[in-house]
Amino acid sequence: MKILHTADWHLGHRLYEQSQIEEQQLFLNWLENYIVAEQIDTLLISGDVFDTGSPSNQSKKMYYNFLVKLLNTNCKNIIIIGGNHDSPDMLNAPKEILNALNIKVVGKATENIADEVFEINTINEQVIIAAVPYLRDQDIRKAVAGESFDELTEKYKKALINHYNLVAEHCKSINKKNVPVIAMGHLFAMGGNISDSEQNIYVGTLGHIGANDFPSLFNYIALGHLHRPQIVGGIDRIRYSGSSYILSFSEINYDKKVIVINTNQNEITKIEDVEVPRFREIYSLKGKVDDCLNQFGDVISNSYQLTPWVEIVLDEKETLNTDELKQQAEQHQFEILKITLNSDKRKVLGIEELLKNTKSIKELEPTEVFKLKCKEQNINLKEHPQLWDAFNEILQTVKGQ
């Protein structure tokens, strides 16, 4: 059996207010063609199908069109779990209809743990899939009034690990033929490397578990949330597939991938990284103004012919007039999305000054805005960690709605 692990599509994502629907559609087209060409039997999507809990009709259309197209391929089983960006209710709404098409959806933790486990069969092979979605605190742990942050953190971590243990126990109870067991999850596993487009999905260190906290029963763990494809904790069977296209300028220096797991005679025989094409060229130009101007000629598109996007990181000690950069860019076939100062050299700037060379306040993450306001108010967050934790708790509550 051939099983393909992917995650973090973030359909509807915009990079500094620029729509990325073109590369999103190109990725889905590429994935469909790969599934056909390589005769993939089962597709696992490990969360964050959408970038927001209220995706546009255009994003939902891409999603459903893709699923319908796979019905005519060799891929007869699709399993989708919810991520922290997804709305559980929106994902789950059509689950009964999709189930009739062998498309299994687990948008949120289920009351019956067996509803997160699926037995997948082809003509000669069988696997068991434990489809564990993004686990929200309220879904797996009873809140207790007056709990401290440390108590909340420890109890949530125990509840998270317990949930995976319960799923593993159920898988073991039904695994009469000793077939491979594959778990899916959407969380931050300690030891993973993050990029600027990710935020910790829990408050502070809430929900961070180690690679060794996963039950040893699982022969492979297909994770979502971190956008860099990677092996967790040096354990080859625990992997993030990463996002499918570039979601931030911090992601331009590594390839995007999907992962293919091969099974034969009740064993996983091969785990293979498959590189995803780069559909849009994205550049980060660094140096003095003249250095960046001299690099303009090196910014080119690729065979997909999408307009290249550029960030400029100036190696200067203070803000400059950037009109020359913008005027010169108009003579080239690319678009500047961001101009900023090298973070090692810039002075502490106010929000208004930072926004001067950006398209909108969405240039800044909520956490960055909060830190800036604290600096402006002379509040040292290291001396007031409870303030930082409280802000993150509010932020995650809002993002979870």
Long-range CB contacts (< 8 A, 24+ apart) of 190-193?
190/233, 191/232, 191/233, 191/234, 192/226, 192/228, 192/230, 192/232, 192/240, 193/226, 193/228, 193/230
267 and 356 in a single domain? The answer is no
Q: Tell me, what's the pLDDT at 352?
A: 52
DSSP secondary structure letters along 286-355: EESHHHHHHHGGG----TT-PPPEEEEEE--SS----HHHHHHHTTSS-EEEEEEE-TTT-----HHHHG
Asked whether residue 156 falls in the same domain as residue 9, the answer is: yes
Give the CA angle between residues 275, 278, 279 to the nearest 5°.
135
Angle in degrees, 0-180, between the axes of helices 366-376 and 385-400, rounded to the nearest 10: 150
| Residue 394, CA distances (Å) to 52, 55, 203, 216, 399 in order | 17, 22, 9, 35, 9
**In a shared domain, residues 348 and 201:** no
Q: Give yes or no: residues 99 and 152 share one domain.
A: yes
What are the Cα distances from residue 120, in Å, to 2, 317, 322, 398?
12, 59, 57, 36
Distance, in Å, from the CA atom of 67 to the CA atom of 95, rounded to the nearest integer, reads 13
- Residues 181 and 217: their CA atoms lie apart, in Å, by 7
219 and 357 in a single domain? The answer is: no
Distance in angstroms (rounded) separating the CA atoms of residues 37 and 140: 40
Same domain flag for 308 and 272: no
At residue 30, the pLDDT reads 98
For 109, how many CA atoms within 13 A lie in the half-sphere containing its CB? 18
Which range marks the domain in which residue 81 is found? 2-276
> How far is Cα 334 from Cα 307, in angstroms, rounded to an integer?
6
Counting the structural domains of the chain, the total is 2
Q: Residue 342: what pLDDT?
A: 75
Residue after which a domain boundary falls, among 251, 276, 301: 276
> Do 51 and 150 sit in the same domain of this protein?
yes
Helix axes 57-70, 21-37, angle to 10 degrees: 10
Q: How many CA atoms lie within 13 A of 119 on its CB side?
A: 12
Within the chain, what is the greatest distance between any pair of CA atoms? 70
Please identify every stretch of the chain with a pLDDT value under 70, giving residue numbers as ranges: 142-150, 191-208, 317-321, 343-365, 385-386, 389, 392-393, 395-401
Give the whole-angstrom CA distance, residue 2 versus residue 290: 51
User: For strand 77-81 and strand 103-106, is the pairing parallel, antiparallel, or unpaired?
Assistant: parallel
Both 225 and 347 in one domain: the answer is: no
Q: Check whether residue 297 and residue 341 sit in a common domain.
A: yes
Q: What is the dihedral of CA 24, 194, 268, 173, to 10 degrees?
A: -100
How far is Cα 319 from Cα 314, in angstroms, rounded to an integer?
9
Which pLDDT score, from 0 to 100, does residue 379 have?
85
Of the three residues 244, 276, 308, the one that is the final residue of a domain is 276
Same domain as 266, residue 200:
yes
By the 10 Å C-beta count (0-12 exposed, 13-18 middle, 19+ buried), 86 is classed as buried
> How far is 284 from 230, CA to CA, in rounded Å?
23
* Bridge pairing between strands 103-106 and 230-232: unpaired
139: its two tokens: 């879904």
The verdict on 135 and 269 lying in the same domain is: yes
Domain termination residue (choose one: 276, 306, 336): 276
Per-residue model confidence (pLDDT) at position 200:
45
Could you tell me which residues come within 8 angstroms of residue 318 by beta carbon, excluding any fewer than 6 positions away? 341, 346, 347
- In this structure, are 271 and 304 located in the same domain? no
HSE toward the beta carbon, residue 266, CA cutoff 13 A: 5
Query: CB-based contacts of 151: which residues, under 8 Å, 6+ apart?
Result: 144
Element (H, E) at 30: helix 21-37
CATH code for the domain of 198: 3.60.21.10
